[in-house]
Structure 1
């Protein structure tokens, strides 16, 4: 046994197991970790921990990006400027609403991507800014989910971004408030893959 252990660079571990009144001993061979493997950071134990770790990373990245100003930029555009110019530049349809929202989100340090917003919008409302959910638990409680990202009024009001319309059905206001909520709860809208 000693020769095998040395040859395979293994260590032995014994564990006593009691089975129906009789004791049994299990012998397991466990490879020794190399020094470079021991230096690696521990991986999250669960999928939830992995998502939380990713959310923390993305939130930190967004805060860092919000603090840095690109060279040559003299002043940040206001949300009103972005909305005014964005709607004309991008158009008054889903693609334009998402792009305008991303400009505002970037200006406000709210993380998210086009793909993350688009996939959530399609799942929640199929791109209909007037969508309303009249059947779920929120609707039965008198606060139906509304708009592109199906946000309820109390959540919309709490996470509404100043400078956007105070209208739950407004496509840009709905997207930005929903992304702001998702950023606070999950780290980014990009990590939302089901009802939130």
Structure 2
């Protein structure tokens, strides 16, 4: 995994030296992270789906291969969280889940020029590394933290996403919507499974 990230960093650094055909952008937006977990016990299989809302922001570099066709890469930071509350026999239980990760997307894009505006589409992989994935359970003001990336955890940090999206560009401002699906099973247990997907809606500016 470290070799993959290092190779990507070298490619990004090489691209940054080609200033004549290179443009940059920054973006921020809403992110929804969904999970689908599978638990197998004997002949019984249970699938549970969940989702957390949050935000993402990042910087991107776009290298134009030919008119209207480009390769885009950069660094993105994602944050998602949710809080569930329940009360049983007068005892309140609160569970706060938090996930943070970084992504290196590598997208191919095509832009259709409409004059002052343009529409574009993109597709390609993204390499994701989990920074934080934990839940904090509070019962009667006593909190317990479960770290999904702990030493004995069954969850993997590294994932490869396949995604696509569309957007509209007006002068230097753009709006885009994209969806990514995790290709790797993040659960280390052979009898269980965990896959993620992400929906993002973002705003950005090009330089």
TM-score normalised per structure 2:
0.23
Q: Which is richer in helix?
A: 1
In terms of Rg, which structure is larger? 1
